Amino acid sequence: MLPRPASAIRFRRLLLTGAQGHLGRELRPRLKAYCETLRLSDRAAMGEAGAGEEAVVADLADAGAMLALLQGVDAVVHLGGVSTEQPWAPILAGNIVGLYNLYEAARRNRVRRIVFASSNHVTGFYRQDQVVGPKDPVRPDGLYGLSKAFGENLAQLYWDRHRIETVSLRIGSAFSPPKDRRMLATWLSFDDTERLIVAALTAPVVGHSVIYGMSDNSASWWDNTAARHIGYRPQDSADAFRAEIEARQPALDADDPATLYQGGTFVRTGPFD
């Protein structure tokens, strides 16, 4: 975890949704350093609130609960919703209806900035021999990626009509350490995740920015030039793990769609049979 000066606090109340998820649990202690009060939310119980925390169990699909959840909030880090390929019903409830409810609640409560956890799976059907950027057409690799493409469009609408700023983070593979050869290109360390989110929260002007969430990996399929205006500078790299991973995975099946496409196993996972 990164050392932080006492002057790190920037917000009176910051909301973290999806606080009980894989990334939410990692970010919970980290984000507390940047606010007086960290409001945590999830559908599941999150344990006792610590000093400077508020824990609120709420369902994204409940518009009334979202309206109450965003009262008194300065900014939102939105990790909530479905985070893997699933049947349509839970994706619709969490990632479509739920995200609309969050943005409507933000509008009505005059919240001015949201950091939205989008996904690299918005462009998962580009090949691994291509480099793509935020201005390239989306090519979702499943219903999950499709819902994140909707989320980016919703964020754009709320910027254009209501001036709610959003940084949509197309998060790569936030694990420690990287697990396989795909992650040599997609890895995002936890420390770089913190750097990225703090930059997205504190950059003076972001409008609606779409940025890939990745560390400083030598192999990369994503052009992240657009990240410069928020001041994000990754400091970690998957390269340190390359020899170990390549020894463990010396050869890949070139005919496997998971090897061909950037989305990996997501391109052949889901209720499409």
**Active-site choice (126, 144, 158, 261):** 144
Average pLDDT over residues 48-66: 96
Q: What is the pLDDT of residues 87-122, one digit of tens each?
A: 999 999 999 999 999 999 999 999 999 999 999 999
Task: Give the pLDDT confidence score for residue 8 in this predicted structure.
Answer: 72
Residue 232, classed as helix, strand or coil, is coil
Burial of 244 (0-12, 13-18, 19+ CB in 10 A): exposed
pLDDT averaged over every residue in the chain: 95
Cβ neighbours of residue 41 under 8 Å, at least 6 residues apart?
15, 16, 17, 18, 19, 55, 56, 57, 58, 69, 80
Alpha-helical runs (H) found in the chain: 22-31, 63-69, 88-91, 98-109, 143-162, 183-186, 190-202, 242-248, 257-260
Task: Give the pLDDT confidence score for residue 271 in this predicted structure.
Answer: 65
Residue 6 has pLDDT above 60, yes or no: no
Q: Give CA–CA dist 8/23, Å, rounded.
A: 21
Residue 22 has pLDDT above 70, yes or no: yes
Task: Give the pLDDT confidence score for residue 10 in this predicted structure.
Answer: 87
The number of beta carbons lying within 10 Å of the beta carbon of residue 102 is: 29
Task: Give the pLDDT confidence score for residue 252 in this predicted structure.
Answer: 86
Task: Give the pLDDT confidence score for residue 167 in this predicted structure.
Answer: 98
What predicted TM-score, i.e. pTM, was given to this entire model? 0.95
Q: Give CA–CA dist 59/57, Å, rounded.
A: 7
Q: Give CA–CA dist 95/69, Å, rounded.
A: 17
pLDDT class for 203, splitting at 50, 70, 90?
A: very high
Q: Specify the higher pLDDT residue, 4 or 150.
A: 150
Q: Has 144 been annotated as catalytic?
A: yes
In the chain, the amino acid numbered 255 is: D
- Domain 6-268: CATH architecture, name and number where available: 3-Layer(aba) Sandwich (3.40)
